[in-house]
């Protein structure tokens, strides 16, 4: 992909990401009154989270299918997916000191594919456990690092929505790491995520495929 195409891709991704995350913040703000306030960090504090994801998929991450039979043409990620993914989830974190917290997260994200490669979509539902480490700030406003590890249930569907008949499904490892910013009851995260088997059973016949690297951008609320 040349430089001009890369710039255009990043521009579209950035605009779409801002719109999507802004919509999540607006919806959550309407659903939960201002009187509901997030717990601050600190020993013994629990945080309950609801959030939305916008998943940037690399336009130059290589072929999807790594070990299909010889002679099979494997599409690149930027051709296999129509656009970046999106979704959301819930989570809970427990702070056992002023700096360290453990957390558990459950989320689902959707990636759609063009008709050239069979259409349909891939729904990825990840269930993880992780650690947060406060880097700087106070109990309510702080920058933190986060690492999550767990599994994801991958489901291929003929339609391009969250609900539909599953044509193939399988489990894969899921991991991500990145930075977060907590602003009282609002939090933002930017991470790099990895799945070694992002498509259930491969594109056709269950041959398997390359890992999916993505950049989940997260915005949400904690209570």
The per-residue pLDDT for range 188-197, each reduced to its tens digit, is 999 999 887 7
11 in Cβ contact with 59 (< 8 Å): no
At residue 31, the pLDDT reads 56
What is the rounded average pLDDT of the residues 51-78? 55
DSSP calls for 78-105: HHHSSS-EEEEEEEEEEESSSSEEEEEE
CA angle 66, 67, 68 (to 5 degrees): 110
Structural domains of the chain ordered from first start: 3-222 (2.40.160.20)
pLDDT band at 73 (very low <50, low <70, confident <90, very high): very low
Say if residue 124's pLDDT is above 80: yes
At residue 166, the pLDDT reads 75
Compare 118 and 104 and report the one with higher pLDDT. 104
pTM for this prediction: 0.73
Residue 192, token pair as written in the block: 């790099």
187 in Cβ contact with 222 (< 8 Å): yes
pLDDT band at 24 (very low <50, low <70, confident <90, very high): low
CA angle 19, 189, 120 (to 5 degrees): 55
């Amino acid at each position: 992909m040349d430089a001009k195409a890369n710039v255009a891709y990043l521009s579209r991704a950035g605009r779409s990401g801002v719109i999507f995350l802004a919509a999540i913040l607006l919806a959550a703000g309407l659903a939960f009154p201002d009187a509901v306030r997030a717990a601050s960090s600190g020993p013994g504090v629990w945080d309950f989270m609801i959030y939305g994801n916008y998943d940037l998929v690399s336009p130059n991450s290589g072929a999807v299918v790594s070990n299909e039979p010889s002679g099979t043409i494997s599409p690149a990620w930027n051709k296999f997916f129509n656009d970046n993914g999106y979704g959301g989830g819930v989570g809970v974190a427990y702070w056992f000191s002023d700096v360290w917290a453990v957390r558990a997260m459950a989320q689902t994200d959707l990636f759609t594919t063009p008709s050239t490669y069979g259409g349909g979509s891939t729904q990825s539902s990840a269930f993880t456990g992780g650690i947060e480490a406060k880097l700087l700030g106070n109990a309510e406003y702080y920058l933190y690092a986060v690492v999550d590890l767990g599994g994801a249930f991958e489901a291929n569907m003929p339609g391009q929505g969250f609900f539909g008949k599953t044509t193939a499904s399988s489990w894969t490892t899921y991991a991500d790491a990145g930075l977060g910013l907590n602003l009282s009851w609002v939090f933002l995260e930017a991470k790099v995520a990895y799945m070694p088997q992002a498509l259930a059973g491969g594109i056709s016949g269950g041959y398997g495929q390359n890992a999916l690297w993505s950049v989940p951008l997260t915005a949400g609320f904690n209570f």
